């Protein structure tokens, strides 16, 4: 990692040095940097770089553009002083060395620690670490930058982000914080009405909060959304949860309440 320079991609691309954001040039130049950062020090051929940033139909003068943007990035790094990353041509491609995506690296470290805490049975600490990992997001991955590679990565990271969020909310419910989770789950289900795991978590949080009728309403709303969007019924897990709520299954209650 380059000393004194922090690169972030969990949101709009930015490079921070001494607490100030470095100018990185026009959007396509920033897209070139984002793609090269994501290679984690590996070389990327000229052809692959063009495909990543411009896709199958690049402009006729794309070679000049690549050279222009590479030169612009080198000038930006040179202005940063000692410890700046190096962007070199290796003979087989462009390689950005001495740089890493720092917020992504920190996110991975926090989630590894969260998984270890969960495996050790410390759900509270695991949830705190998951919240800390979520707080690193400032927006969508590489927000505002275009190109096939970054757009595909943006979709992939959006899904990874949602999986972590769902796991964290599930842990919160297991910890008995179902009342506190309802508001966030309502907001998330409204934003992602086809995510059945979120709907199931909302139903469970509502049921454990003594709001079984609201849990059934949440299911019906999800069923309508899924039918309208996909012409299908909810999956078996969500349908099974619906049936358990209908029959007031005591096993859905928290262990302490169920045993009472």
Span 173-221, pLDDT tens digits: 999 999 999 999 999 999 999 999 999 999 999 999 999 999 999 999 9
Burial of residue 177, with CB atoms counted within 10 A of its CB: 0-12 exposed, 13-18 middle, 19 or more buried? middle
Higher-confidence residue: 3 or 128? 128
Pairing mode of beta strands 20-21, 14-17: antiparallel
| Beta carbons of 32 and 54 less than 8 angstroms apart | no
For residue 161, the SS3 value is helix
Quick one: average pLDDT of 215-236?
A: 97
**pLDDT at residue 223 is higher than 50:** yes
Indicate if 176-258 has the same CATH topology as 5-97: no
For residue 256, what pLDDT is reported? 59
| Beta carbons of 12 and 139 less than 8 angstroms apart | yes
**pLDDT at residue 260 is higher than 50:** no
| Beta carbons of 21 and 15 less than 8 angstroms apart | yes
Can you give the residue ranges of every domain in the chain?
5-97, 176-258
Higher-confidence residue: 145 or 82? 145
Interior/surface letters 212-251, b for 16+ CB within 10 angstroms, e for the rest: bebbbebbeebbebbeeeeeeebeeebeebbebbeeeeee
First-to-final CA distance of the chain: 55
Cα separation, 188 vs 211, whole angstroms: 18
- pLDDT (tens digit per residue) in 110-165: 999 999 999 999 999 999 999 999 999 999 999 999 999 999 999 999 999 999 99
- pLDDT (tens digit per residue) in 27-76: 999 999 999 999 999 999 999 999 999 999 999 999 999 999 999 999 99
Quick one: average pLDDT of 4-31?
A: 93
For residue 141, what pLDDT is reported? 97
For residue 83, what pLDDT is reported? 81
For residue 122, what pLDDT is reported? 93
For residue 80, what pLDDT is reported? 86
For residue 80, the SS3 value is coil
Domain 176-258 has CATH 1.25.40.10: yes
Helix (H), strand (E) at residue 6: strand 5-8
Whole-prediction pTM: 0.87
| Fold designation for 5-97 | Arc Repressor Mutant, subunit A (1.10.10)
For residue 2, what pLDDT is reported? 42
For residue 258, what pLDDT is reported? 40
């Amino acid at each position: 990692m380059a000393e004194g320079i922090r690169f972030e991609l969990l949101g709009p691309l930015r490079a921070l040095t001494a607490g100030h954001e470095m100018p990185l040039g026009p959007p396509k130049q920033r897209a070139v940097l984002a793609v090269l950062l994501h290679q984690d020090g590996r070389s990327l051929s000229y052809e692959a770089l063009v495909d990543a940033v411009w896709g199958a139909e690049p402009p006729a003068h794309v070679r000049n553009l690549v050279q222009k943007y590479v030169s612009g990035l080198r000038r930006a790094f040179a202005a940063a002083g000692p410890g700046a990353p190096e962007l070199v041509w290796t003979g087989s491609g462009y390689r950005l060395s001495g740089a890493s995506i720092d917020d992504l690296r920190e996110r991975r470290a926090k989630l590894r620690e969260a998984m270890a805490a969960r495996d050790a049975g410390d759900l509270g600490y695991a949830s705190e670490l998951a919240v800390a990992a979520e707080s690193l997001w400032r927006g969508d991955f590489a927000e505002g930058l275009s190109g096939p590679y970054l757009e595909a990565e943006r979709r992939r990271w959006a899904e990874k982000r949602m999986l972590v969020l769902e796991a964290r909310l599930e842990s919160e419910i297991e910890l008995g914080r179902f009342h506190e989770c309802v508001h966030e789950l309502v907001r998330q289900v409204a934003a992602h009405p086809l995510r059945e795991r979120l709907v199931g978590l909302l139903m469970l949080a509502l049921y454990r909060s003594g709001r079984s009728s609201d849990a059934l309403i949440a299911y019906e709303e999800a069923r309508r959304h899924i039918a309208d969007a996909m012409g299908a019924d909810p999956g078996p897990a969500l349908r099974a949860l619906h049936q358990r709520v209908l029959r007031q299954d005591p096993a859905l209650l928290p262990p302490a309440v169920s045993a009472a």
